Amino acid sequence: MAGSGACGSAHTSPVHINRQQPPSIFTNTDGQKVALITGVTGQDGSYLAEFLLKKSYKVHGVIRRSSSFNTHRVEHLYEHPNFRMHYGDLTDSMNMCQLLSTIKPDEIYNLGAMSHVKVSFDMSEYTADVDGVGVLRLLNAIRSCGLERTCKFYQASTSELYGKVREIPQKETTPFYPRSPYAVAKQFAFWSLVNYREAFGMHLSNGILFNHESPRRGATFVTRKITRAVAAIHRGTQSQLELGNIDAKRDWGHAKDYVEGMWMILQQEAADDFVLATGETHSVREFVEKAFLEVGITIKWRGEAVNEVGYDSADDNRVLVKINPKYYRPTEVDLLIGDPSKAKKGIRMAGKNVFLRSRQGNGGGRHQTSRLRQFYTVLKTHTALCRAGFDKLIVPNDCILAELFVSRVSKTDRKSWRAARVLRDIRAAPVRVV
Ligand code: NAP
Ligand code: GDD
């Protein structure tokens, strides 16, 4: 029953959707599992909501109040009878308490965060409040509402914790060395979980996730920034791409694989911490080269450090990539590569790296040809949609988007694959550029 814990019987107002649903459908009285997702409007939150709804969960999402729309990734779920959103913020303890006492979730996925590493240097105190103390607020809310024996909790921990890496590859036992206010805040959160798990026997698990990307990735993260720029350069609407440290290396997986991993982590009998990674790493520079190759441009480099430029090998004067120190971070994380052995064994998680394959790459042969054919089908469809005036709704000619999607198509699915499925994903992709 709502309100039995110390938080009282406070009532929370759901966002304007599903008003016709009686509140009872969203309580776990009928054996259906109930999940609460903070950060449901983000890349991972939106995929996780879809994943849990398919598993017949009742899904509650927390949406931040904003004067502009921030729901583009979840709008397609509005009509789902088992999906509901509530206004909330990780900086507001009472709000968290009210939500938990009303919803009484079986599982909480805490994905809400100020998630941009560079921005965390500009907004360090806010980042600490949301990404660090915000987690403690939620943990305390679970206890205050008397849910510590029934509610499992997933925390979105991060490979950024390894920062200036002490070991290659990084695994669960690798010491942390955070290199940004974001990572420091996430370290506070990580250890808060471990402490409450040991102190109060709560089911609290950290997923230490390496970078994961998708068509829904925010446009200021490097993969989307590059692929959007390459697509725009290809279409002639942009002339150059400006980047910071192109020698940083990352272990890039697909967000859809990783949200499944989050769920698997919470299905464990005993709470534990897991690295989710692909075990493969690539530099931003390589990523740039492969992305341009997808539109038929071979990038060559000349100059050094801030004076280095990437130019079109077919035209020495056509500089396409420039370094802008404004994108440098005060302290950088140079190399991330995860060792997912524990997850592979413990939760049977297998993530695939989503790094772009080049036309001339090693992966050639019939398989590669078929992937490329699909890729070009997608590009053509994008172009058609742009002409039809959809360019405000979609991210046109987004190379990685196409490639990522194609990489999700299994051999058996391949024959029945349709561009429409890609387009559905594109439509749900973000279009804001900050
Ligand atoms: P994202 O797209 O930036 O989404 C972040 C979400 O948090 C958004 O829904 C955002 O709301 C919400 N949020 C921000 N501030 C909040 C606050 N004060 N209270 C409540 N919600 C708030 O991030 P993501 O890539 O999906 O990542 C999800 C989580 O995993 C984050 O915690 C991130 O730090 C962590 N993580 C991500 C990766 C990765 O590679 N993607 C790797 C490791 C860990 P708005 O939509 O209103 O902004
Ligand atoms: N964003 C951005 N923009 N990054 C750039 C740029 C640029 O113009 N130029 C070079 N980079 C480099 C960054 O310095 C970094 O080394 C790398 O590209 C990746 O940057 P992001 O895509 O912004 O991701 P991140 O690795 O800093 O952080 C992401 O992954 C973490 C997990 O390792 C975020 O999703 C974090 O929330 C997450 O915890």
What is the tens place of the pLDDT at every residue in 378-405? 444 444 444 443 333 223 234 344 443 4
Mean residue pLDDT across the chain: 80
Question: What distances in angstroms separate CA 282 from CA 163, 183, 245, 286, one per listed residue?
Answer: 16, 21, 13, 6
Would you say the CB of residue 192 lies under 6 angstroms from ligand 1? no
Greater confidence, 291 or 387?
291
pLDDT of residue 216 exceeding 90, the answer is no
Question: CB neighbours (10 Å) of residue 316?
Answer: 10
Among 2-11, 55-64, 188-197, 371-380, which stretch is predicted with the lowest mean pLDDT?
Answer: 2-11
Ligand 2, CB cutoff 6 Å, lining residues: 115, 117, 158-160, 210-211, 220-222, 225, 243-246, 248, 250, 284, 327, 329, 332-333, 336
Q: 418 vs 391, which has greater pLDDT?
A: 418
| CA dist 171 → 88, 207, 209, 261, 337 (Å) | 34, 12, 11, 16, 9
**In 123-180, where does DSSP find H-type helix?**
124-127, 134-144
User: What's the predicted TM-score (pTM) here?
Assistant: 0.84
Q: In this model, does residue 223 exceed pLDDT 70?
A: yes
* Cα distance from N-terminal residue to C-terminal residue, the chain: 43
Mutate to test the pocket of ligand 2, among 222, 254, 323, 332 (most ligand atoms within 8 A of CB): 222
Tokens representing 411?
A: 């051999």
* In the predicted structure, residue 114 carries a pLDDT above the cut 70: yes
- What is the helix (H) or strand (E) element at residue 245, kind and residue range? none
The two tokens of residue 86 are: 């509530």
Active-site annotation holds for 158: yes
Which residues share a beta bridge with 242? 322
Q: What is the mean pLDDT of residues 179-187?
A: 98
Out of 127, 158, 278, 281, the active site residue is: 158
Span of 88-92, 108-112, 404-408 with lowest mean pLDDT: 404-408
Q: How confident is the model at residue 29 (pLDDT cuts 50, 70, 90)?
A: low
Q: Is the backbone of residue 207 left (phi > 0), alpha (psi -120 to 50) or beta?
A: beta
For position 28, what pLDDT does the model report? 55
| Residue of 73, 111, 251 to mutate, ligand 1, most atoms within 8 A of C-beta | 111
The residue ranking higher by pLDDT, 87 or 257, is 87
Question: For residue 393, what pLDDT is reported?
Answer: 28
Q: Which two tokens stand for residue 204?
A: 């609290």
Confidence at residue 237, expressed as pLDDT on a 0 to 100 scale: 81
Q: Residue 415: is its pLDDT beyond 90?
A: no
pLDDT value at residue 350: 61
